[in-house]
């Protein structure tokens, strides 16, 4: 008789087990030691967390790039990417999903920040991958600030004018000063 034994790991973990066979044979029970290592994608995220510089209200920041590097030995599958809260102050553009990132490879997501008021904003870029049973949440933060009032500068012309000599209590001829 032949027994087929299979191993299907659900996590990247070392799994010890044993198979015990009991029969009417004189050497019963018999035990077979089983071991197996689950391997899965491993990856890093940079920068994480991602912080944006102070940004004027209702203006869009420069792009910040978040890079996902596959540091493991098996392909990383990114099946979903979403920014929360949505809609919110943070926006993402990235590669078409699902995306397979081979070992040693990387994927880039472009992030922008557009605050609607002068306050602190926070959110997450959530990635669903085959490297974890839960979404990977990359923290995002930025502060909206009010724009300073524009500096006002005026000019005057002419900058000098000589009235010459004038008799006391007599009004001189006029001149026009332009602002």
Cα 162 to its chain centre, rounded Å, is 65
What is the distance between the alpha carbons of residues 109 and 91, in angstroms, rounded to a whole number?
10
- Residues linked to residue 137 through DSSP beta bridges, in sequence order: 126
Its pTM stands at 0.66
Residues 126-172: tens digit of each pLDDT: 999 987 767 789 999 999 999 876 777 777 777 777 767 777 777 77
Beta-sheet pairing, 106-113 with 90-93: antiparallel
Among 121, 58, 135, 36, smallest CA distance to 85 is for: 121
Residues 94-122: tens digit of each pLDDT: 899 999 999 999 999 999 999 999 999 99
Residues 28-40: tens digit of each pLDDT: 999 999 999 887 7
């Amino acid at each position: 008789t032949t027994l087929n034994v299979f191993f299907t790991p659900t996590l990247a973990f070392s799994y010890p087990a044993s198979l015990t066979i009991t029969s009417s044979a004189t050497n019963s029970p018999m035990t077979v030691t089983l071991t197996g290592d689950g391997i899965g994608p491993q990856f890093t995220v940079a920068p994480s967390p991602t912080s944006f510089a102070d940004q004027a209200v209702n203006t869009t920041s420069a792009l910040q790039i978040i890079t996902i590097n596959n540091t493991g030995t098996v392909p990383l599958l990114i099946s979903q990417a979403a920014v929360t809260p949505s809609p919110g102050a943070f926006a993402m553009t990235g590669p078409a999903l699902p995306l397979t990132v081979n070992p040693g490879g990387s994927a880039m997501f472009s992030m922008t920040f557009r605050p609607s008021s002068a306050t602190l904003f926070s959110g997450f870029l959530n990635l669903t991958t085959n490297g974890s049973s839960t979404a990977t949440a990359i923290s995002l933060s930025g502060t909206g600030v009010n724009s300073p009032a524009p500096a006002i500068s005026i000019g005057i012309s002419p900058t000098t004018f000589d009235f010459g000599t004038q008799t006391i209590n007599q009004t001189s001829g006029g001149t026009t000063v332009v602002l």
